[in-house]
Amino acid sequence: MSRVRVISVVLGGLTFLAVYSLWRLLYVPMFEVRAQNGNFGLKEPCPGGNSASNAFSWDDVPLNYSLPEGEQAAIALIRRRASVPESSESYRGPILFNPGGPGGSGVDMIDMAGDLFASILGPEFDIVGFDPRGVGRSTPRASFYKTDVERALWGTIGLGTLSNNSDESVARIWAAGRLLGQLAAERDDGHLRHINTDQTARDMLRIVEAHGREKIQYWGFSYGSVLGASFAAMFPDKIERLVIDGVVDSENYYATLWSNNLLDTDKVLDHFFSGCAEAGPDACAFWAPTADDVRQNLTNLYDSIRAHPLPVKADFSYGILDYNFLRFVIFRVLYSPYDLFQTLAQGLANLAAGDGRVLLKLVTRPPFECSCNPAAHRYDVVGDGQVAILCNDGDDVPGDLQSSLEYFKFMANTSNWGDIWSTIRLSCVGWPKFPKDHFQGPFDSNTSHPILLVGNTADPVTPLAAAKKMSRFFNGSVVLTQDSPGHCSISTPSLCTYTYIHDYFVHGTLPKPGTVCDPIGGPFFTPPLSDSAAQVPFVREEEKELFDAAEKLSRIPLIPFPFRML
């Protein structure tokens, strides 16, 4: 059975739309959260989830941990139960997940892929997702707008993408960021300053303790690596198992620099060029005999669309496909090459023939529909939470225009994609000046169990160098390298990677330093199971189940994309 789920995420004025075609996942009917006093929390179907059978609850935590008896926040959680009873000796407790963002919904992640993670990790674990404070179903929810209509309208006129040679467009983004900060300050009810990674790390410890455990088991992706590293540094004696995957340089993040994320971005596009040439015209619609030929054909398309933007009318939407639009589409695809490279190739081939509908569909959101039901958008994951978390977490960003112009020029010289990436920092130029008394480092730690870091050799926004840097802060930690393009390990199926992660959670074992895992096939070709057995360090009975889970995970866009979809 197929379902289509639409989630609009607005990063201030940056709107992210993901359309997920999903199969119906089976879950146990109820989720139970034990409060500190041993009582069970609220139990009900997951609001806004894919199935009424989802296991869901809220857990109350202090809004401000400096005043633990004061006002409370409510953290939304979802759990896919372990297949063994809690009374069993083989039961290993909950593993918490965070999909990144910041501002991504862990409830949505486990709602969509909880069964797949269970197939990888085994039947002994509860698979638990949560919406961080300020996000989605958790309260208080970050919101800078009085109505959903206001938010949708701002998405059409607010923060946008930049072009590499336009001071005027930088000034416009700067002005929009200043206005966004004013809206946030004016509509703050006193909760906004408490939406940050420090408080969320403390929330995670409360969730673990509510399950009757003393130490955390955690798998965090992208920004989730910042959350995981922060937790490990804040509570080094509370680590049972901790995996951070698609690792961000947390020092750079807390400085609000966002300046070294794009070191490997072009490597992903190189995989597109070489993979397309090797795959042949049947597998890659944009095929040319060599990688350089494919690259040149894309350059020719860039030149053509600069001179002649293409009006596109499709059944689902319409728009103008120009140079900035095309680059934005390609940058989006770099996150998920196994899922989207073939679609991109078809879209580029069609564009060369004057048809932009495939590319338009990759990023276009449907028109906003106003509902008379006041609860219609109650659980939407909006980008206000993302802005609140990243701006609260990091150092204050200079509010003058000249500083933004200099930052933009630095980023444009650092990477071909720096103009797109710059908008993240610029969203904080007008942010309220809250006290920076929360955790921002240092990270040097002797954790109670060594942590595992995972990085791809060609990740568009979390380069492998960041994983190696962060590993040096945590004694005994190991970096597992996956030799593949895409954002985080789950963007690419690899039996080798998932076997090591499984064994880490179950047995506590780490791969040898320097271990490199190969993927299964490539973005233009995935081999049959019989050809992939050599990918694992030893043969497992559940290899087929692991293979199926790995392949399906690579086809689901679980990691939030922090930019406006047009």
Q: Give residue 104's identity as a one-letter amino acid code.
A: G
* Residue 535 confidence (pLDDT): 52
Partners of 8 in the β-ladder: 17
Q: Which residues of the chain have pLDDT under 70?
A: 1-54, 155-165, 365-367, 374-377, 526-542, 563-566
Q: How far is CA 324 from CA 306, 320, 328, 364, in A?
A: 9, 10, 6, 14
Q: How far is CA 515 from CA 62, 201, 497, 536, 537, in A?
A: 41, 29, 10, 12, 11
* Residue 7 confidence (pLDDT): 27
- Contacts of residue 270, defined as CB under 8 A and 6 or more positions apart, other chains included, come to 291, 458
* Residue 222 confidence (pLDDT): 98
Instruction: Report the relative pairing of strands 310-313 and 318-321 from DSSP bridges.
Output: antiparallel
* Dihedral pair phi/psi, residue 269, rounded to 5°: -65, -35
* Residue 9 confidence (pLDDT): 29
* Residue 162 confidence (pLDDT): 57
C-alpha closest to that of 152 among 502, 531, 565: 565
* Residue 11 confidence (pLDDT): 31
* Dihedral pair phi/psi, residue 18, rounded to 5°: -120, 130
* Residue 371 confidence (pLDDT): 73
Element (H, E) at 484: strand 478-485
Q: Give residue 402's identity as a one-letter amino acid code.
A: Q
* Residue 373 confidence (pLDDT): 74
* Residue 528 confidence (pLDDT): 53
Q: Give residue 137's identity as a one-letter amino acid code.
A: R
As a whole number of angstroms, the distance between CA 63 and CA 72 comes to: 5
As a whole number of angstroms, the distance between CA 332 and CA 491 comes to: 13
